[in-house]
Amino acid sequence: MDPVSTSSAQPATTVQGLPTVILPGYLAGAAPYQPLAQWLSDRGFLTTVVPLQRSDWFPTLGGRPVTPILEALEATVAQVLAATGAAKINLIGHSAGGWISRIWLGDRPYGPTQQAWQGRDRTAVLICLGTPHRSQERWTRRNIDFVNEHYPDAFFKDVRYVCVAGKAVQGARRWGQWVAYNSYSLTIGQGDSWGDGITPIAAAHLEGALNLTYEAVYHSPRPNRLWYGSPEIAEQWRSHLVTTAA
């Protein structure tokens, strides 16, 4: 399957950025990220979305290894680097895509194939958007504990880590805030925290990373509300993408 890539014949700026890859969040396909990819491409960062479909996540359900997603990420990065001649990429991981990207950066054998992708050598910056970097939910913990045991915090010093959180919903046991309360409880054990409606701020940040929090930003793209990929929000974090001159 070829990666989903977008570009513009008339970019909005003269910035020459490193090629950029977006890894979707849990159970998400590539389609919702195409507007963000187009927006970044228009600003000089030729952006490719890992070409996932919802069904690609099914083998990972129940806390199984996320090897199929890592393989798709690896294949996409290899294609992008071969096509552009670049040595490194900017990597953007949304939600679970952030901690999965942290596995891909690493050199420890993982999963049933005991493979290590060593993506750090090909990555200039990892930007995590609403990523839950820790969890108390028993199935999710199988993978996240692996990440945090082997690659704690902003582990690789030759990779920039930027962690973006949203402050849109405070969890509460009332209508309109129940989903956030339950999600925050499963993530950090404190349901009345603030977050993006799915990921609490406390879980979205990593020690040693550049940690950013934006007001009124929700977890996923929905009509008529801000999320991490909305142009007015992406405009704030895109300055941390690496250009070829960096």
Each domain of the chain, given as residue ranges in start order, spans: 18-164+198-238
- Architecture per CATH, domain 18-164+198-238, reads as 3-Layer(aba) Sandwich (3.40)
User: Are the C-beta atoms of 197 and 171 separated by less than 8 Å?
Assistant: no
Identify which of 159, 103, 97 has the alpha carbon closest to the alpha carbon of residue 132.
97
pTM above 0.85, yes or no: yes
Q: Whole-number mean pLDDT of the chain?
A: 93
Cβ contacts of residue 72 below 8 Å, gap of 6+? 50, 51, 52, 56
- At 180-239, the pLDDT tens digits run 999 999 999 999 999 999 999 999 999 999 999 999 999 999 989 999 999 999 999 999
| pLDDT given for residue 244 in this prediction | 80
E strands within the chain? 4-6, 20-23, 47-49, 89-94, 123-129, 160-167, 169-170, 194-195, 210-215
Percent of the residues in the chain that have a pLDDT greater than 90, as a whole number: 89
Closest CA to 234 of 175, 176, 185, 164: 164
The angle subtended at Cα 120 by Cα 159 and Cα 187, nearest 5°, is 75
